[in-house]
Structure 1
Amino acid sequence: MGEKISVTFVKPGGTRETVEAETGESVMQAAVFNDVEGVEAECGGSCVCATCHVYLDEAAMKLAPAAEEDELAMLEDAAAEQRESSRLSCQIKLTPEMDGITVTIPETQY
């Protein structure tokens, strides 16, 4: 069982929701396990659907490992605008250093 940390999700429209998550979980799991709307995660975290696309804040961008080739390919097919901070939330494992990060959910996943 991992250490408890907080992750804030900014939903489309600007509403902020801070949830408790465990280190070792993915950002996607933190959203899904806490019923955060907007992270669809249709493939369950297999990096094959891009419906868990999010935008990371600056702190999270520095702490997250670089995106691998398969993630970058999926992001090209994401429905929402791709930005420098775009990531698939299923590919980012939470670490203790990520406590307090902010993740913005795009307007659409489809």
Structure 2
Amino acid sequence: MAKITYIEHDGTEHQVEVADGLSVMEGAVRNLIPGIDADCGGACACATCHVYVDEAWREKTGTRSAMEESMLDFADGVEDNSRLSCQIKVTADLDGLIVRTPEYQG
């Protein structure tokens, strides 16, 4: 399990434990974290699980796939550290991960 901190756009923090093998999005949905809509259920077919990965964690979360890049075209406020949380698999190496949600998912 990894402890992940989800920070809402208003600064509200939620720290939860997420089982290895789940995605960061699944961890948010299972723990009722606001700000991650996950409309497609994790199929990388929308951009409603968009998060900003804390700079210290960018390398450990990997790089965007071509499909993820394509889906991020539909997200608001995309930055260099933007990721779809459905595409980040949780491992013990991500213990302490910090992600922030945008003000609007869309």
Secondary structure at the aligned position of 2:36 is classed as coil
> How far 1:61 moved relative to its partner?
0.8
Residue equivalent to 1:95: 91
Residue identity opposite 1:105 in structure 2? T
Deviation of the 1:46 alpha carbon: 0.4
Question: What is the aligned residue count?
Answer: 106
Deviation at 1:65, TM superposition (A): 2.1
What letter corresponds to residue 75 of structure 1 in structure 2?
L
Q: 1:95 to 1:59 in 2, by over 3 A?
A: farther
Q: TM-score, normalised by structure 2?
A: 0.96
CA RMSD of aligned residues (A): 0.8
Moved over 2 A (4+): none
Q: Normalising by structure 1, what TM-score?
A: 0.93
After superposition, give the CA deviation of every residue in 1:48-101 in whole Å (9 maximum; x if it has no partner). Answer: 1100000001232111121110100110111x2010000000001011111011
Equivalent-residue separation in structure 1 for 2:70 and 2:12 (angstroms) = 29
Answering whether residue 33 of structure 2 is matched by residue 36 of structure 1, we say yes
Paired-residue identity, % = 44
Match of 1:70 in 2: 67
Unaligned runs of 5+ in 2: none
Q: Give the aligned partner of residue 26 of structure 1.
A: 23
Instruction: Pick the aligned partner of 2:8 from 8, 11, 25.
Output: 11
